[in-house]
Every structure is written in C-alpha cells, then in structure tokens.
Amino acid sequence: MTAIVAHAAPARWWHSRAVIRFMRHHLALLGIAMITLLVLACAIGPYALPYDSLHIDLRARFAPPLTGNHYLGTDPLGRDLAVRLLMAGRVSLAVGFSAMLLSTLIGTLIGVTAGYRGGWVGAALMRTVDGFLSYPSIFLVLALAATLRPSPAMITVIIAVTSWMETARIVEAEVRSLREREFVQAARMVGLRRSHIMFREILPNAMGPIIVAASLAVARAILLEAYISFLGYGIQPPLPSWGNMLNGAQQYLASAPWLAIIPGAAITMAVTSFNFIGDGLRDALDVRNDHI
C-alpha cells in the first residue's frame, strides 16, 4: 500500500524546522549536555575508579570528600561513594528509561484505542484513566512494591503501570481530532483495516505530543524510583540506586552531610536535564502548552 499522504520531507533531517528550533533552545541543549555527561560517567566511570562498589573498608568509614582516592568520600561501611554513585546511576537511569518506554507503550495503545474507537469503549478507557489519576501515585506504587517482590524489573513495571495515564490522555485527545481529518476518511474509503488506520496512518501524525510526554515521563519515573527507594520499598541493597543511597543518610546528616547531598544532587541533575529536554522538544515540535 502506498502512502496516502505525501509529506514534504526536508532534504536532510537536520535541515528540518523542528531540529533547527530545538538547537536554538539553550536549556534543551544544556539538558542534553548534562544527561550525556551523566550517562558517560555512569558507563565508563566505575572502570576508571580504583574501588569496587561493594568493597567494604571499615577503617575508612565516613571519610569526607577528597580524602585520598575517595573523591566523594565514603559511606558508613567505608565503601567509596563515587563508584557507588555511578553504579547507582546505571540502575536509576535504566529503571527510569525502561519505565518510560513501557508506560509510553501502554499509554499510546490505550490512548489510540480510546480516541479512535470512541463510544462506550473510549468512555470506559478514559474513565479508567481518571480512576488511576485519582490515586496519589506514591500510595499505589508503595502498596504494589510492598506486596510484589521488588526486583529492578518489577519496580520498572510497577512505575510504568501507575504512570501511563498522562500519555493516554494526551494521545486520546490528539487521535480524536485527527480521526475526522481527510486523510483518515480517505484511508477508510480505500478500505484499510482499522488497526492499519490507527497505527500506520494516525499514530505517526501524533508522534510530537508522544515524544514530549515521553521525555517528561523519564523525569517522573526517575523521581518516583528515588522516592520509593528512599522509603525502602524500591531497589534493594546491596544493589545501589540514587534513592536507596539516601535511605540511611538522614541519621548521619550532622556528621556526614555529603551522604545526603551528593546522591540528591545527581537525581536533581538527571531529572532537570529531562525536563529541559522535554521543554525544548515541546517548543520544537510545536505542541500545545497545556501541561507544565
């Protein structure tokens, strides 16, 4: 089947208006730079540092930052904070990113179905969205995490299952307005299957808002993982995550404040980058500014 709508594609993808507009967005570029730095550090850093993330050295407990080779100091067990921070970054970023992929998938499927089918199917799906949104997300996530076994994969699923609703809402609204456009009517008249119209004709035209929502969803997933791991129901030690590194930090706040300050700064940096990128994408892809 040949494409029904011919897009006037620019000669090179980097000549497109969206890319040019994104490159002019300074905050978004700053976000890209920060997250690239973080990802590279987490990927390569642990090999470059002289310690193992699980190596315990009780003689070197509570060493402040910049003691010998402990650039960020050590924790109550004398483990090197720098290498733990970077190993934790791998876990936190991986969980955040996978949770975003899964929640975007769920949200898009439900949004497209609800928006295209409409009627009682659409109404039932969207009321389910409202129902999920009525729960403060952390209550639902904690209740699920406390009852199911909290492996990183399970935490990812739990976060995705409780945070797909925003995407579903955005996609549903977009699809509902696209449904009546001429190219969709043409596709219907040609006799294309419903699934083909939904996912091959309409979905590509709704990609802008989905991409924006996805970049903000990474930010939210990283925060949510940090919350539940901080509270002790997320990623379980000895596997470090940014959230669970802060778990015991409060009791050492007076004697070893770096234990609390450093992992939190990493979380803030990662989440800020994704929020900046999302903002840049929204401007570049010209998505209505209904949400923060």
Q: Which residue lies nearer to other proteins by CB, 2 or 147? A: 147
Q: Which residue lies nearer to other proteins by CB, 205 or 272? A: 272
For other proteins, the binding residues in 235-254 under the rule CB under 8 A are: 246, 249-250, 253-254
Task: Give residue for tokens 């080779």.
Answer: 69
For other proteins, the binding residues in 150-209 under the rule CB under 8 A are: none
Q: Which residue lies nearer to other proteins by CB, 74 or 273? A: 273
Q: How far is CA 251 from CA 39, 246, 255, 256, 260, in A?
A: 30, 10, 9, 9, 10
Would you count residue 275 as binding other proteins (CB under 8 A)?
yes
105, 261, 283, 285: which one contacts other proteins (CB under 8 A)? Answer: 261
Smallest separation, CB 201 to other proteins (Å): 31
38, 226, 281, 287: which one contacts other proteins (CB under 8 A)? Answer: 226
Max Cα distance, the chain (Å): 77
Would you count residue 67 as binding other proteins (CB under 8 A)?
no
Q: Which of 176, 61, 57, 166 is nearest to 112 (CA)?
A: 176
Q: Which residue lies nearer to other proteins by CB, 16 or 137? A: 137
Q: Which residue lies nearer to other proteins by CB, 104 or 275? A: 275
Would you count residue 272 as binding other proteins (CB under 8 A)?
yes
101: Cβ contacts below 8 Å, ≥ 6 apart: none
Residue 174 CA to residue 202 CA, distance in Å, equals 9
Residue 112 CA to residue 97 CA, distance in Å, equals 22
- What is the dihedral sign for C-alpha 22, 270, 47, 232? negative
Would you count residue 95 as binding other proteins (CB under 8 A)?
no
For other proteins, the binding residues in 133-152 under the rule CB under 8 A are: 133-140, 142-144, 146-148
Would you count residue 271 as binding other proteins (CB under 8 A)?
yes
Would you count residue 32 as binding other proteins (CB under 8 A)?
no
Would you count residue 97 as binding other proteins (CB under 8 A)?
no
Own/partner contacts of 97-101, CB < 8 Å, gap of 24 or more, are 97/218, 97/221, 98/156, 98/160, 99/156, 99/159, 99/160, 99/163, 99/217, 99/221, 99/224, 99/225, 100/160, 100/214, 100/217, 100/218, 100/221
Number of residues binding to other proteins, judged by CB under 8 A: 45
Positions touching other proteins (CB under 8 A) are: 27, 127-128, 130-140, 142-144, 146-148, 219, 223, 226-227, 230-231, 233, 246, 249-250, 253-254, 257, 260-261, 264, 267-268, 271-272, 275-276, 279, 289, 292
